[in-house]
């Protein structure tokens, strides 16, 4: 079977700091998720991807390899690369920013900064970020919006040494993750996130415009760099009536290529 022609995808945005291979990876994931590329379909070849996006074969190969690493596609020697059957759903969860998540859902992301400070971390933050004694953090406290509607409150902590001039470069209303990539080349690649259910405090209720004690999701996330070092510790409170947590589960298969 010859590979499918690459269906319509949006062009890459050059100069926005997001590596090209990552942008291609996201577009291909979208194609798989929307089932434009279906299970067992052949993936476009590296040359086709390179030509379609106007990138080097090396960049195209890096994008395909990242999908392989996520288990979304697999290679058969001499035959090409195919969309995985079993792990497609399971591995969809990526370290996405609020901005990316909202854009992928077709909503306009927004935020209101309540405070951004350089400060001494609380013990919990120091522990999660494995900070040395005396190290400072930037603490960014925001209300997040989708199409102008309150979605949640996020309180992010970042080691100050990683982004020393964050106070002067961060534009209120912009994406934190985008700033980290563009200004400091910091890419958060993995995260551990816990979800609990809670009730809105008086302050949550005021900021999110819900009744006091309304149900909310309480998320705690530690995000890590490529080398495994923690770089972000975030506590978030999301409106229970506007948020849905989806866990995509799959049956673990040790090796798809060996099917």
Query: Which residues are CB-contacts of 59 (< 8 A; sequence separation ≥ 6)?
Result: 20, 21, 24, 50, 53
Q: Is 217 in the site for ligand GLP (CB under 6 A)?
A: no
- Could you say which of 12, 236, 237, 239 contacts ligand GLP (CB under 6 A)? 236
**Beta-bridge mates of residue 83:** 73
Residue with smaller CB distance to ligand GLP, 4 or 218: 218
State in angstroms the smallest separation of the CB of 97 from ligand GLP.
3
Q: Is 156 in the site for ligand GLP (CB under 6 A)?
A: yes
Which part of the chain contacts ligand GLP (CB under 6 A), choosing from 32-40, 55-63, 172-180, 245-253?
172-180
Residue with smaller CB distance to ligand GLP, 49 or 151: 151
Q: Report helix, strand or coil for 97.
A: coil
**What angle in degrees, to the nearest 10, is found between the helix axes of 46-53 and 57-70?**
120
- Could you say which of 175, 181, 207, 208 contacts ligand GLP (CB under 6 A)? 175
Q: Is 82 in the site for ligand GLP (CB under 6 A)?
A: no
End-to-end Cα spacing for the chain: 19
Give the DSSP per-residue string, 39-92: TTPBPPPHHHHHHHHT--HHHHHHHHHHHHHHTSEEEETTTEEEE-SSSTTGGG
Subset of 93-152 contacting ligand GLP (CB under 6 A): 97-99, 109
Give the DSSP per-residue string, 175-188: -HHHHHHHHH----
Of all residues in the shown chain, the one whose CB is closest to ligand GLP is 97
Which part of the chain contacts ligand GLP (CB under 6 A), choosing from 18-26, 91-99, 195-203, 249-257?
91-99
The 3-state DSSP composition of the chain as helix, strand, coil percent (nearest 5) reads 30, 25, 45
Provide the token pair at 220. 């705690």
Say if residues 212 and 205 touch (Cβ distance below 8 Å). Answer: yes
State in angstroms the smallest separation of the CB of 1 from ligand GLP.
39
Q: Is 23 in the site for ligand GLP (CB under 6 A)?
A: no
State in angstroms the smallest separation of the CB of 47 from ligand GLP.
33
Residue with smaller CB distance to ligand GLP, 51 or 113: 113
Residue with smaller CB distance to ligand GLP, 6 or 129: 129
Q: Which residues bind ligand GLP (CB under 6 A)?
A: 97-99, 109, 154, 156, 175-178, 221, 234, 236
């Amino acid at each position: 079977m010859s590979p499918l022609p690459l269906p319509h995808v949006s062009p890459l945005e050059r100069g926005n700091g997001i590596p090209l291979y990552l942008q291609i990876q996201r577009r291909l994931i979208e194609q798989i998720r929307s089932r434009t590329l279906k299970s067992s379909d052949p993936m476009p070849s590296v040359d086709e991807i390179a030509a379609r996006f106007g990138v080097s074969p090396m960049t195209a190969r890096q994008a395909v390899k990242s999908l392989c690493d996520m288990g979304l596609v697999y290679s058969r020697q001499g035959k090409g690369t195919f969309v995985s059957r079993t792990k497609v759903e399971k591995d969809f969860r990526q370290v996405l920013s609020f901005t990316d998540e909202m854009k992928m859902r077709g909503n306009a992301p927004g935020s209101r900064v309540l405070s951004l400070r350089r400060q001494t971390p609380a013990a919990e933050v120091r522990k999660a970020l494995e900070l040395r004694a005396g190290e400072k953090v930037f603490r960014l406290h925001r209300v997040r919006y989708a199409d102008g509607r309150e979605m949640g409150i996020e309180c992010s902590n970042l080691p100050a040494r990683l982004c020393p001039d964050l106070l002067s470069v961060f534009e209120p209303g912009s994406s934190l993750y985008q700033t980290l990539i563009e200004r400091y080349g910091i890419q958060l690649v993995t995260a551990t996130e816990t979800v609990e259910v809670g009730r809105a405090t008086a302050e949550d209720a005021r900021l999110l415009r819900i009744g006091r004690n309304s149900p909310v999701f309480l998320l705690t996330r530690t995000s890590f760099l490529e080398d495994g070092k923690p770089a972000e510790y975030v506590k978030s409170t999301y409106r229970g009536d506007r948020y849905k947590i989806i866990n995509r589960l799959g049956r673990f298969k040790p090796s798809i290529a060996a099917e």
